[in-house]
Amino acid sequence: MAEIKDPENTLIMETTKGKVVISLLPDLAPGHVARVKELAREEAYDGVVFHRVIPDFMAQTGDVKFGKKGGESFNPSRAGMGGSEKPDLQAEFSAVPHVRGTCSMARSQSPNSANSQFFICFTDAPWLNKQYSVWGQVTEGMDIIDLIKKGEPVQDPDSIVSVRVAADV
Superfamily of domain 7-165, CATH level 4:
Cyclophilin-like (2.40.100.10)
Q: Provide the pLDDT for residue 26.
A: 98
Provide Rg for the chain, Cα atoms.
Answer: 14
pLDDT at 24 over 90: yes
Q: What is the pTM of this model?
A: 0.97
Check residue 2 and give its pLDDT.
66
31-90: per-residue pLDDT in tens?
999 999 999 999 999 999 999 999 999 999 999 999 999 989 999 999 999 999 999 999
Q: Residue 3's pLDDT band (boundaries 50, 70, 90)?
A: confident
DSSP letter string, 86-154: SPPBPP---S----TTEEEE---SSTT-B-S-EEEESS--GGGTTTS-EEEEEEE-HHHHHTSPPBTTP
